[in-house]
Amino acid sequence: MSNLSPVGWFFYIITQLGSELFFILFLSFIYWVIDDRLGRRLLYILLPSVWLNSFLKDILQMPRPPPSQRLVSAEGYGFPSGHAQNSVSLWGYLSTQIRETWVTITCTILIILISISRIYLGVHYLHDVLGGLVIGTLLLIAYLKLEPRLAESLGKLKCIHKILISLLLPPIFILIPYYMFPHPISNSYLAAMGALSGASIGIILERKYLKFSVEGTLMRRVLRYPLGILILLIILLIIGKLGVILPILYTKYFILGLFISLLAPAMFQKLQL
């Protein structure tokens, strides 16, 4: 990676916009500072997209370009490109909710650049990226159509029933690939479903008891972010020291989702931020 050209470094930086760390930082910023409602909906489209991408890769088992062609390291199968698919899910949904021309143009450019970066860096073929873009688009269309109906149906359930669904359903979606495939992409399944379970439970409790809102002075809103991220990174660092066995990995991402959606907002309210 140290041998990257200036163009290579540009695309290396761009490709980080489709990484797990960026998603954590970006979603936390949206949720805590910009619009908590938008943050919730971004979580609900991005995390299932991560699971679906891993599932499709395990089914199709299409290889990446050979290591000799890669400018950066990459693991797992190639089709569909997770960066391309998840970028459409995240940036595509964002552009449908903030209906400003500059937002649409920016999101479109980011989706294109992130997709190109995967080809330039040699970790995906063209068909991997095109497949990711198509699947991401189909997922986005389905989410836009189904989310209002699903939200209405779930809204009629009692709080305890919604918590039980959030607690039990994601682990089932982890067991499915373990039953079907001898060597599933375990970390991706655990990350997506663990975070989804924690975030869903956090959102249910936050909506019922806290009713957190990003409203506040600019100074208070700005102060939330570094404080929340600092505590979040400390928590994840401590959990990371416990090992990488599957239950601990699931717990790590569960706490991540719970912190973003419930614990951090509760802390901000307590500190009057």
Contacts of 122 (CB under 8 A, 6+ apart): 65, 69, 70, 71, 72
- Cα(first)–Cα(last) distance of the chain, in Å? 41
Catalytic status, residue 124: yes
- Alpha helix stretches (DSSP H) within the chain: 6-15, 20-29, 36-60, 82-87, 93-97, 101-120, 126-155, 159-180, 186-205, 218-240, 246-258, 264-270
CA distance 264 to 270: 10
Taking the C-alpha atoms of 10, 13, 18 and 20 in order, what is their torsion angle to the nearest 10 degrees?
Answer: 170
Q: What whole-number distance in Å separates Cα of residue 119 and Cα of residue 264?
A: 37
Q: Which residue in 124, 127, 161, 183 is the catalytic one?
A: 124
Neighbour count for residue 258 (Cβ, 10 Å)? 22
Which residues are identified as catalytic?
A: 83, 124
